A = this chain, B = another copy of it.
Amino acid sequence: MTYQLYYWPQIQGRGEFIRLALEDAGAPYRDVCREKRGEAQLMRILGPRAAFAPPALKAGRLLLFQTPAILHWLAPRLGLAPRDEAARARLLQQQLTIADWLAEVHDTHHPIASHLYYEDQKREAKRRGAEFRRVRLPKFLKHFAEPEKRFSYVHLSLFQMVEGLRYAFPRAMRRLEPRGLAALHDRVAARPRLAAYLASPRRIPFNAMGIFRHYPELDDPRRM
């Protein structure tokens, strides 16, 4: 089975959470929208009724949207989750909290609307960013401070959160990052297939279009 991933080709975004699972498992997949005429192929599977937004995964006849739903379905097939239903539900719970966290990261730079430019909501972004760093970021980091021992796709997603947050909020993360989460990050980065992926051109660099953006004015103030 060759999986087909559909996602915006310019950013890591939500698609990256699925890429990490496919890459870590060494699963055969096509990153369809990064091929020739890829965006046209993305547009074909979207449409107001079929889907709300990418990413999408095609697996045989199944076309599935929503990152946590895709990972929930995919992970047991890749050996990244147990088959037991209660254990899978608990992983889904954690992935949903990561999705909430990611949405809050997005809203630090887009607190008014995702369809408006950052520059047009910069004042509100500064306020939301400050509250995020003061209250929400510590709360999420504390919640995930001691990740479960048994490896699963949730660990890959937590690795990505740490990577992204270090890029977007380097000063706040130096202050707040729990030791357990940093250790998880390093263990995941050292997994051979994942390390090879991260060093490859398949890994899109962080940039100013993605969900994790580095705007110094949204990070902790620089020390004097």
Stretch at the interface among A31-39, A65-73, A153-161, A205-213: A65-73
Which residues of A from 74 to 106 have beta carbons under 8 Å from B? 85-86, 89-90, 92-93, 96-97, 99-100, 103
CA of A146 to CA of B69, assembled, Å: 21
Q: Is the CB of A62 within 8 A of B49?
A: no
User: Within 8 Å of chain B (Cβ to Cβ): is A25?
Assistant: no
Please, which residues of chain B bring their CB within 8 A of the CB of A111?
A: 111-112, 124, 128
**Chain A interface residues (CB < 8 Å from chain B):** 48-49, 52, 62, 64-66, 68-69, 72-73, 85-86, 89-90, 92-93, 96-97, 99-100, 103, 107, 111-113, 115-116, 121, 124, 127-128, 131-132, 135-136, 139-140, 142-143, 145-146
**Residues of chain B contacted by A143 (CB below 8 angstroms):** 48-49, 52
Main secondary structure of the interface of A (DSSP, over half): helix
Judging by beta carbons under 8 Å apart, are A96 and B124 in contact?
Answer: no
Copies of the polypeptide in the assembly = 2
Q: How far, in angstroms, from A62 to B85 measured CA to CA in the complex?
A: 11
Partner of A124 from B68, B72, B92, B112 at Cβ < 8 Å: B112
Question: Which residues of chain B have C-beta atoms less than 8 A from A66's C-beta?
Answer: 92-93, 96-97
Task: Find A145's partner among B49, B103, B116 (CB 8 Å cutoff).
Answer: B49
